[in-house]
Structure 1
């Protein structure tokens, strides 16, 4: 979720509550587009991190320091000259723009009290940090924007600062009902898009929430709504933004399993399918959200080569499987040719020379059938032709049946590796998956004396009743858990008919409570290909009934007796151990 005006309003409130009247003790510029201000207040010391990165603009409070370059950049030196030891006297947000003004009082060279403004613009690729005097003239900025770069506004020393109003949006905190309705009904677009296109600081997620609260489909056209419905929508809109006016923020993150999907400063009730985690501050939300997203993105980037290998092999095997199925379909009529041959042997003796067909009684079905003939061949030769065709298709059927089973097993195996890549949490997990692909022949092993070090371990959970539960993150771990770690009376869980993790519950010889069975089932559902389904069927059985087939690939097992349960994949209430 991009920073919207509501998130900025939440940050402004937090900054006013924490660093207002604080003094800027240290100014650093760790990156070309990032500032780190150390601020001392009477009660504590905080750091304000401000990033104008085009890919990830941020502003949040932190206790952590960052290493700075040996030589400070020019913009950092300029700020040190003017506002080092300056006092923060005001922090504000114009309208509901994604902009923060930080007013700082300082003494000039003559000892006179002066005021400067640090303006933080969190606007995606247009983000910037601009330093202005009290009259609004730009002294400098962390990014210079010339007329060649932007026809809307120059950001250069000596220019007057202004907020470009290119979209002509209304302020959601002050808009009246008539203006609200006029804005929406004049836009030929879906209702949700019309809302976030018409008002400053409103993101698509917030527009969706307002439509949801009003009980309306965000995809309908505003012109389809009558006056009463538009009035109702306006009331929901104002109720929602009343929370912003009153600074009633509840910063939170919404999770799908362990993956953070969205963050918000106000509740998002249309995210009812996600797990909500409320936090004390928006800074904590931003650090947690972006750290988690960054870790997930980094792992996905590092696993890209492995994914490409698996996906290429999957596509090749799926094409092979479809071709084999088509060839198998062509052999389904083989018994017909056998019957043709037998009937020709039985009735062909009285055929006239040059006959093109034989009409005879099929003594298998008691029906009359017509058998096409080659007029240049004798009845015996025609019969032999059909027997040869039958035998060829029979051999093809037997060979294809075995090949199709092998190809299907290969597809299932590759899908299990794909699922393992989805749940990989660190580079050590990728090392083990790469080793598995190497052992399976999908990656050529590089000849080196250095042995691959495997440090990845299964996931470890504790049930509500105190039983330890272990989840394999890939096929090698699944084999290790099931056939080396688990005892005969431990319980084994797996999603039915889908690639996924083996889950082992250490029973310690006890009869497990129903709640532990359910929690283990949820783990098996969550760490499977069917994790996005509302209900997942899980097979479970004592480990002693699970066998490894001869020559089976890693992670493949067979069992002939089992119990089943159907359960959701929500593991938010299950405690994970290190």
Structure 2
């Protein structure tokens, strides 16, 4: 994510077009580090959501209202006292910093006109909202920072406000031409990308990489390896870019990979040509959509954290157990040697001397090659022979038991890996309910005797192919069984990633032959909703559902089949249409 000076510049332009000269009719503080301003003007009502959250700072216009606490926090009360019904007369961004100044005109208790400034600093963990008097003295802030916390600047009532001097060595490219830009970056012993974002204020690594891409250069290439002409060429592109920013030519966009938002920017990101681009109407809309969707993914990840820990712990335990069993099985394979020793002692041991420590004889099983067999000198030949036969018998019984145990442990590992994959594709709290039920049913989570069973709301994914065929994807093992053995009919097609945990994909057969493109798209779904989704190429097995069988007593989602077709795909589903979660 790049909430940088470029995005701030776009926001300032947007705010000047909407809330400049509006009155602040309502001030709320729905969270400890969040403000919600309601502004009214001749063009209507606007809400401005501002967050100084250390991990997720933002500012954008929104239509969404938020519930405020019954008792307003102190900072909110201070703002209401001073600037309620105040008019926003200026919105600026100092020197391309990640800072916005809202200058507000209001009347004091005596009816005199006064000015205050609301400073919004969107600087990651240092984010803050600071309320200042006309002379720059801090009246209050949403977060207080003492000298014990920061040696650079105290943020406390009565202290003078100043921008932290963290970027004194950076230049404001908005005030520079191509020649000055070239002089600023040349001869820096670092990559092109780093040279750009460490030289100019407000430029993030994302924008720096985009500028290098526009100039046709490798962002990771060392600047020292570039010729003077190449550096001049790069400087020209940087100058052209900032000329666009000066003229407020913003193109807000969200970059998606497999439907999930991975980046946003106030400018066109040409370096992401192979990704899905969603162009937005405004910077605020872009930020609101991006943060809302990222919040969903983050929230689900947090809600599934306990389940992930349980699955990971059980998986690691079973994998160690499996490795130990394999080692024991390998040791048990030595049993044939002990059987051979016993037989050879029985054949050649008649002429052994008392207290012999070894028997040297010919191995008639191996072209009469000489073999040396260790002996216990305290035992007779018969007793030594029986000792080796006893070892053989014990290892044979161990090997037979291990074969069963290895199969059980491998089945347990496969089951846990399939649950792990289900957690990876879960998109809502409802998707986690069935996964938790499965973990309880198979003893990974202790069942509550009087626990109320949660209602299952999660349904399989429902996609429509380019040729209009319905394609269904199970989100977990229970849904996989439901789709394959209750929903699908015999002639429907079944798809699954080869030899790895993944979802069952069902394509409903309309009768007749399906187009090749449907097989390819269904294969992409099977690859995407598997543990191999990040692979460049995957092999997918597919066959008609009537040839898929479920062994008695097997774990949910486990099937067998003996004849199938295969295809190789790249698991990219960006061109497929998700209708909804199916109501099968």
Contact 1:24 1:88 (C-alpha < 8 Å) held by counterparts: yes
Residue pairs, 1:9-88, within 5 angstroms: 9-80=9-80, 82-88=82-88
In structure 1, the residue matched to 2:479 is 477
Deviations 1:426-473 (A, max 9, x none): 222222111111111112211117444222211222222222221111
Q: Structure 2: how far apart are the matches of 1:361 and 1:239?
A: 89
Preserved CA contact (<8 Å) 2:133 2:139: yes
- Contact 2:252 2:266 (C-alpha < 8 Å) held by counterparts: yes
State the alpha-carbon separation in 2 of the partners of residues 295 and 351 from structure 1.
Answer: 80
Mapping 1:114-125, distance limit 5 Å = 115-125=115-125
Alignment-derived partner of residue 97 in structure 1: 97
Q: Secondary structure at the match of 2:96?
A: coil
Residues 1:449 and 1:43: Cα distance change in structure 2 (over 3 Å): closer
Aligned residue in 2 for 1:296? 297
Paired residue secondary structure (1:306): helix
Q: Secondary structure at the match of 1:284?
A: helix
| Residue 461 of structure 1, aligned match among 460, 463, 474 | 463
Q: Distance in 1 between matches of 2:369 and 2:503?
A: 57
Deviation string, structure 1 residues 264-289 (Cα, Å, up to 9, x no partner): 22234444554322222221121111
* Equivalences for residues 416-565 of structure 1 within 5 A: 416-448=418-450, 450-565=452-567
Residues 373, 382 of structure 1: 8 Å contact kept: no
8 Å CA contact 2:190–2:224 kept in 1: the answer is no
Instruction: List aligned pairs for 1:249-268, cutoff 5 A.
Output: 249-268=250-269
C-alpha RMSD of the superposition:
3.0
Q: State the SS of the aligned residue for 2:332.
A: coil
Whether contact under 8 Å (2:2, 2:265) holds in the other structure is no
SS at match of 2:119: strand
Q: Is the 8 A contact 2:527 2:538 kept in 1?
A: yes
Deviations 1:526-551 (A, max 9, x none): 11111111112111111111111111
Distance 2:106 2:340 in 1: 103
Match of 2:280 in 1: 279
Q: Tell me the alpha carbon deviations over residues 378-426 of structure 1, each in whole angstroms, 9 at most, x when there is no partner.
A: 4444443333333332222222122111111100100111111111222
Select the residue among 396, 399, 404 that pairs with 1:397.
399
In 1, distance between residues paired with 2:531 and 2:21?
Answer: 53
Cα separation, 2, equivalents of 1:138 and 1:451: 54
Question: Do the aligned partners of 2:541 and 2:565 also contact (CA within 8 Å) in 1?
Answer: yes
Distance in 2, matches of 1:239 and 1:352, equals 99
Cα offset, 1:300, TM superposition: 1.6
Q: Is the 8 A contact 1:103 1:115 kept in 2?
A: yes
Greater alpha carbon shift after TM alignment, 7-16 vs 105-114: 105-114
- Counterparts of 1:150-165 in structure 2, within 5 Å, are 150-165=150-165
Q: How does 1:120-519 map to 2 (within 5 A)?
A: 120-168=120-168, 169-174=170-175, 192-213=193-214, 222=223, 227=228, 230-271=231-272, 274-349=275-350, 355-366=356-367, 368-374=369-375, 376=377, 377-448=379-450, 450-519=452-521
| Contact 1:115–1:134 (Cα < 8 Å) also in 2 | yes
Per-residue CA deviations over 1:516-575 (Å, capped at 9, x if unaligned) read: 212211111111111111112111111111111111011111111111111122222211
Q: Distance in 2 between matches of 1:441 and 1:386?
A: 42
CA distance in 2 between partners of 1:369 and 1:252 (Å):
79
Aligned partners of 1:59, 1:95: CA distance in 2, in Å? 18
Asked if 2 retains the 8 angstrom alpha-carbon contact of 1:355 and 1:373, the reply is: no
* CA distance in structure 2 between the aligned counterparts of 1:360 and 1:228, rounded to whole angstroms: 84
Checking the alignment, whether the CA contact within 8 Å between 2:359 and 2:375 is kept in structure 1 is no
1: CA distance, partners of 2:275 / 2:380:
75
Q: Secondary structure at the match of 1:150?
A: coil
How far apart, in 2, do the equivalents of 1:273 and 1:337 lie? 63
Structure 2 CA distance for partners of 1:363 and 1:231, relative to 1, 3 Å? farther
The C-alpha deviation readout for 1:468-496, integer Å capped at 9, x for no partner, is 22111111111111111111111111111
C-alpha distance 396-187 of structure 1, shift in aligned 2 (>3 A): farther
Q: 1:203 to 1:391 in 2, by over 3 A?
A: same
Change in Cα spacing, 1:513 to 1:354, as seen in structure 2 (3 Å) is same
Q: 1:147 to 1:359 in 2, by over 3 A?
A: closer
For 1:345 and 1:239, the matched residues in 2 are separated by: 94
Structure-2 change in CA distance of 1:70 and 1:392 (3 Å): closer
1:228, distance to aligned residue in structure 2 (A): 5.1
Structure 1: unaligned runs, 5 residues or longer: none
SS at match of 1:446: coil
CA shift for structure 1 position 69: 3.7
- Single out whichever of 224-233 and 87-96 deviates more from structure 2: 224-233
Q: Number of paired residues? A: 578
Structure 2 length normalisation: TM-score? 0.89
| Alpha-carbon distance between aligned partners in 2 of 1:45 and 1:510, rounded to the nearest angstrom | 58
- The 1:330/1:232 distance shift into structure 2, 3 A limit, reads farther
Change (3 A) 1:449 1:320: closer
- In structure 2, list runs of 5 or more residues that go unmatched: none
